[in-house]
Structure 1
């Protein structure tokens, strides 16, 4: 059962910024053929939009697992999640970042959630995930009421 789901869509300004390929490709191809320039502009912009949409990862919390992009981990290996926003989130992504941490960061999303990993065999001490609703994601991760698996022993 899904407890939380969020898609980290690209910010609207990225779609506007990539629209600059339209005049750029028209300028390049106009001396050759204006129709080819317009067709190339449309195809290139459509490719940019498809890339931005396809590259948007999903964060999903179910009763037994956390999935972030292509990575997934059983919830029994997760510690208490902490949400950060504003300058605290900037610190977590910068000066306080552990180089061993597993990251799913998107520059256009300001909030982050830090999730400690309790598995001793995992080289990552924690996961740091971008989220537009960090408090809600942390709350979903910390709510163990729906869990079907017991928490991992702390040894």
Structure 2
């Protein structure tokens, strides 16, 4: 359920396999410390797993939100009035726009584990950013929300 004034809300969470990797990393730290005794092993296991889990959680905490008056993508907040054309990108197009077609001036909220994206033109002539590249698992829903916000 969305809050009033929120037209779209998505958290770009990390995949489950990354959490498994975090647990394995913590186990590895514990095993490295095993020659020093059982307490260092347990401490390394707890601290290593905790640090890896914090890193995965922080990377997977990026949000994309469309409010009635603005688009919030990660740390960026852009008024809807400054946005232009919205283009839904399938997996192939998204790959092209985040590699060889990418403009270094573009704002990219990019998560490699999310194959689809939306490309939003920036219509503000004073903003040097040509477009926003936003990874999203629901590109059509995000594009529709942006259109509703502009209407």
Shared fold per TM-score greater than 0.5: yes
- Displacement after TM superposition at 1:115 (Å): 0.4
Which of 77, 100, 103 is the equivalent residue of 2:105? 100
After the TM superposition, which segments of 4 or more aligned residues of structure 1 sit over 2 Å from their partners?
A: none
* Corresponding residue for residue 41 of structure 1: 45
Does residue 31 (structure 1) correspond to residue 35 (structure 2)? The answer is yes
Per-residue CA shift, 1:74-110, capped at 9, x if unaligned? 0000012111122111111112211211111011111
1:19 aligns with 2:23: yes
Q: Which runs of 5+ in 2 are unaligned?
A: none
TM, length-normalised to structure 2: 0.90
Q: Unpaired runs of 5+ in structure 1?
A: 148-155
- By how many angstroms is 1:25 displaced? 1.4
CA RMSD of superposed structures (Å): 1.4
2:113 paired with 1:133: no
Does structure 2 retain, via aligned residues, the 8 Å contact 1:80–1:141? Answer: no
Preserved contact between residue 6 and residue 65 of structure 2 (Cα < 8 Å): yes
Contact 1:23/1:41 (8 A) holds in 2: yes
Does the 8 Å contact 1:18/1:48 carry over to 2?
yes
The structure richer in helix per residue is: 2
TM-score (normalizing by structure 1): 0.88
Hey, what's the Cα distance between the residues in 2 that align with 1:6 and 1:23?
32
